[in-house]
Structure 1
Amino acid sequence: MKILVYGINYAPELTGIGKYTAEMAATLAGYGHDVRIVCAPPYYPQWEIGPDYSAWRYGREVRDGVRLWRTPLWVPRRPRGVRRLLHLASFAVTSLPVVLAHTFWRPDVVMCIAPSLLNAPGAWLVARLCRAHAWIHIQDYEVDAAFQLGILNGSRLKRTALWIERMLLRRFDTVSTISNKMLERAADKGVALTRLVHFPNWVDVTAIHPLGRTSTLRDTLGIPEGAIVVLYSGNMGAKQGLEVLATTAVQLVDRSDIVFVFCGNGPMRSVIHAICGPLKNCRFSDLRPKEELNELMNLADIHVLPQLGDAADLVMPSKLTGMFASGRPVIAMARPGTELYDAVAPRGVVAEPGDAQSLAASIERLAQDPEARDRLGRKGREFAEDVLSRDAVLSEFSKMLCSRVPVGARREIDTYGKTPALAKSVDDVAADADTVTTR
């Protein structure tokens, strides 16, 4: 089957949506599907274009058996409000000609990854032009989150944005998202139940697993022997609620046996560092390279997942899968009735969102109870192996794709499709691109 995936984020981004889109595409290609990607150059979570990539040039590459078209975008240093919208719009505009050119390739499925919803009209149009299945996969409800977290404001703007979102979602043949609560929200937005699909995030349980020894990163970060490491790893953005974790570190500064490690990048890192960076119980690190990811996840004696209450069911934190797979216990901030609470409560500790005292108390209790840490860590690992494994999730997703695209509507897989002369025009769109590289 020919599958065109259209989304702003992609590998080599180490965290967030790009990581999952890349793993999905590579796995589908391994199953024998012909997969193509239209995406931006890597920029997340540092919010700056990665080395060896350009913000202003079109480019092509081959990565893990998948052909990629990279298109320009503008990356603001402070991605808030109008600047964030302009950032997303820049990619939607520059990528539209490339996506439209893929009409000649005649994909069987056109999948839009949201965020960004601004890509959705182009994805839907291409699907209709070549009579393909139009699929949108929602990782975050960006419109709801933007207004609830104060990134955007204004009642008229909110009504307009939500109306456009509802109109777009109802036009796709399939709408998938990563949690059951998010599926319920899609239904509330008017998407027919027959079009809704649960497509959760996953974890490679062979790549992230209990080490059975002390992580080498303890020495790298100067962590005293015997200290309990409380780790946050991932994007440092507005919706993560990291100010609460920083305040918790301040409250526990006199506990010499507890060390907080903040690993990641993002627009809130400087704010968090200003609160607790100079403290003796805090360490800051950039994201580690992929080959050190398992060392990083095993650095934790306790993983912590701060989360703003207002965003609890708008996003399902993707980092949770790796936390469980590491076999280390998790403390998450969530309210009863939310999917995050339901995922963590049976195999971890749950604290009240936004309450630094509640988080501090939970950390202290778990820090002094090694048996509880071992028990919860084992439960999280078992959950990752049984429910969240990459092979299980993506194998089911591939079957789901095939079941939703009628056999008679699929075209055979080959390099250029049934009409090589027409399909080759897709490549011409990026004629000024850098040379093709294989990664």
Structure 2
Amino acid sequence: MKIVFANRYFFPDQSATSRMVSGLAFALARRGFEVTAIASRTLHDHSNVALPAQEMVAGLSVKRLWATRFGRSNILGRAIDYLTFHISAFLWCLWNLERGDICVVCTDPPLLSVTTALPIRWRRARMVNWVMDLFPEVAMELGMLSNKSLPGTLSRVVRNWSMRKSAMIVCPTATMASYLTEHGLENDRVSVMHHWSDGEEIYPVPPTANSLRTRWGLQDKFVVGYSGNFGRAHDFSTLLEAAVLLSDDEDIQFLLIGGGQQRAHVEEIVRNRDLKNVIFKPLQPAQNIAESLSAADAHIVSLIPRLEHCIVPSKFYGVLAAGRPTLFVGDSKGEVARVVASADCGAAVKIGEGQRLADFIVEMKESPDRRAQMGLNARRVLDTVFSRENAVNAWADVMHKFRQQSAVASQSSVYGPAE
């Protein structure tokens, strides 16, 4: 039995889904499982980069499938990239899967489980549907797709069909799992397995030892960070309102790291408002991630409330690993807000509460001991609840059960059913 991970991006790509999938795949390979990853030949933010078609990385076989490389700059090009990857994934599964294999199918590109369901079934393998972003609901909630339109209805029907063909559906939050079971999927098929962060790769770096903080001229500042994707699922209006309100405080600096669909718009607002207290930096390479996340004294994490059942911001787990408080902007009863409140590792505000966010920032700046305790609490909840070790143990247990089931099934096919 081999485990096949299917996701459009894989190591060395540093996008959120790639880091999650790659980390788990490498960990399972180290534990003795035969693991293969299928992905595209491009990087998330660099469609002009062509990665090798196949290679062995840390004992794991990576098969990078052909697909067009128009990139993320326009919707039509992205749709063609999706379509060609779907076709390549269908053909790869049809030609390469074997009886008893476990194919862990992720949600980039959307509906990949639909494309791969039939070849997985024909090859008598089994599918684990790892739902990181719930499509088409994300598109519907963002107004990109009508839930009453034919494409919207059809997308949901075929998605649910593919889930019913799965041996297991993995959700990162109980909210998403509840949504799926309330919409007709069997309870015993849906499992909650939280996202995580690698506490060895990301760890607290003191300000005085942080070379990035020094290089960026932030040594004497209280730094409010945002790190990751500037996507449609995230609110930036509240952050920018707080930045305006605090623009006269020379001790506070906003540090925005990453890229994505909304970054240009955020940069334009910062220019138009002449906000000298906001600086932008590109997403940092993997070897700098501990310093990058530790460069901030507190991090803003946001999620539009209507997407709580669709997405969890994976950047949150990196903030926990870096031992920094979280300032969450979104649903006060959502997944991140609940963890922040129960672990006492930050604060939460609703979208539009820029003044309240600004007040929390000032309070944290002026209370270094309290802020330090929140950081310790953040790292503690990472180590006890959201660690990579916990996640890998849970996934390994699942794979051992599948392996045992495959062995029993194989024996039955040879000797006939047990009396």
The structure-2 alpha-carbon separation of the partners of 1:107 and 1:8, relative to structure 1 and needing over 3 Å to count, comes to farther
Partner residue, 1:196:
190
**Shift in Å, 1:258:** 0.7
Q: Which runs of 5+ in 1 are unaligned?
A: 412-439
- Equivalent residues in 2 for 1:68-83 (5 A)? 68-71=62-65, 72-80=67-75
CA distance in structure 2 between the partners assigned to 1:35 and 1:93 by the alignment: 22
Partner residue, 1:315:
311
For residue 136 of structure 1, the aligned residue among 129, 146, 150 is: 129
Partner residue, 1:120:
113
Partner residue, 1:158:
152
CA distance in structure 1 between the partners assigned to 2:154 and 2:247 by the alignment: 46
- Partner SS state of residue 39, structure 1: strand
**Shift in Å, 1:366:** 1.9
| Amino acid in structure 2 at the alignment position of 1:377 | G
**Shift in Å, 1:36:** 0.9
Matched, 1:67 2:84: no
CA deviation string 1:172-213 (max 9, x = no partner): 121111111111112123211111112211111122122244
| Amino acid in structure 1 at the alignment position of 2:283 | L
**Shift in Å, 1:409:** 5.3
For residue 292 of structure 1, the aligned residue among 284, 288, 292 is: 288
**Contact 1:324/1:380, CA 8 A, preserved across alignment:** yes
Under a length normalisation based on structure 2, what TM-score does the superposition of the two structures give? 0.90
- Partner SS state of residue 106, structure 2: strand
CA distance in structure 2 between the partners assigned to 1:385 and 1:254 by the alignment: 38
CA distance in structure 2 between the partners assigned to 1:132 and 1:212 by the alignment: 48
**Shift in Å, 1:407:** 4.5
CA deviation string 1:71-100 (max 9, x = no partner): 2234344355x6544432231123322222
CA deviation string 1:31-61 (max 9, x = no partner): 11111111112332x2x3263x16xxx8112
**Contact 1:110/1:123, CA 8 A, preserved across alignment:** no
**Contact 1:244/1:354, CA 8 A, preserved across alignment:** yes
**Contact 1:4/1:107, CA 8 A, preserved across alignment:** no
Partner residue, 1:401:
399
The structure-2 alpha-carbon separation of the partners of 1:354 and 1:175, relative to structure 1 and needing over 3 Å to count, comes to farther
**Contact 2:332/2:349, CA 8 A, preserved across alignment:** no
CA distance in structure 1 between the partners assigned to 2:387 and 2:261 by the alignment: 31
- Partner SS state of residue 324, structure 1: helix
Superposition misfits of 4+ residues, deviation over 4 angstroms: none
**Contact 1:111/1:135, CA 8 A, preserved across alignment:** yes
The structure-2 alpha-carbon separation of the partners of 1:83 and 1:355, relative to structure 1 and needing over 3 Å to count, comes to farther
**Contact 1:100/1:122, CA 8 A, preserved across alignment:** no
CA deviation string 1:243-267 (max 9, x = no partner): 4323332332112111001100112
- Partner SS state of residue 54, structure 2: strand
CA distance in structure 1 between the partners assigned to 2:72 and 2:122 by the alignment: 37
For residue 213 of structure 2, the aligned residue among 211, 214, 218 is: 218
CA distance in structure 2 between the partners assigned to 1:149 and 1:20 by the alignment: 24
| Amino acid in structure 1 at the alignment position of 2:394 | E
**Shift in Å, 1:117:** 3.6
CA deviation string 1:362-414 (max 9, x = no partner): 22222222122111111111001111111121012111222244042588xxx
**Contact 1:27/1:394, CA 8 A, preserved across alignment:** yes
Partner residue, 2:199:
205
Partner residue, 1:26:
26
| Amino acid in structure 1 at the alignment position of 2:91 | P
The structure-2 alpha-carbon separation of the partners of 1:355 and 1:43, relative to structure 1 and needing over 3 Å to count, comes to farther
Q: What RMSD in Å do the two structures reach over aligned CA positions? A: 2.2
Matched, 1:326 2:357: no
Partner residue, 2:413:
none
For residue 255 of structure 2, the aligned residue among 254, 261, 277 is: 261
Q: Which runs of 5+ in 2 are unaligned?
A: 411-419
Partner residue, 1:355:
353
Alignment: residue pair count: 403
Farther-moved stretch of structure 1 (247-256 vs 313-322): 247-256
CA distance in structure 2 between the partners assigned to 1:282 and 1:83 by the alignment: 32
CA distance in structure 2 between the partners assigned to 1:107 and 1:61 by the alignment: 24
**Shift in Å, 1:291:** 1.0
Q: Which structure ranks higher in relative contact order (CA pairs < 8 Å, sequence separation ≥ 6)? A: 1
**Contact 1:76/1:84, CA 8 A, preserved across alignment:** yes
- Equivalent residues in 2 for 1:171-250 (5 A)? 171-214=165-208, 215-223=210-218, 225-250=219-244
- Partner SS state of residue 344, structure 1: helix
The structure-2 alpha-carbon separation of the partners of 1:337 and 1:200, relative to structure 1 and needing over 3 Å to count, comes to same
**Contact 1:40/1:73, CA 8 A, preserved across alignment:** no
CA distance in structure 1 between the partners assigned to 2:237 and 2:334 by the alignment: 21
| Amino acid in structure 1 at the alignment position of 2:282 | D
CA distance in structure 2 between the partners assigned to 1:410 and 1:222 by the alignment: 62
Matched, 1:335 2:336: no
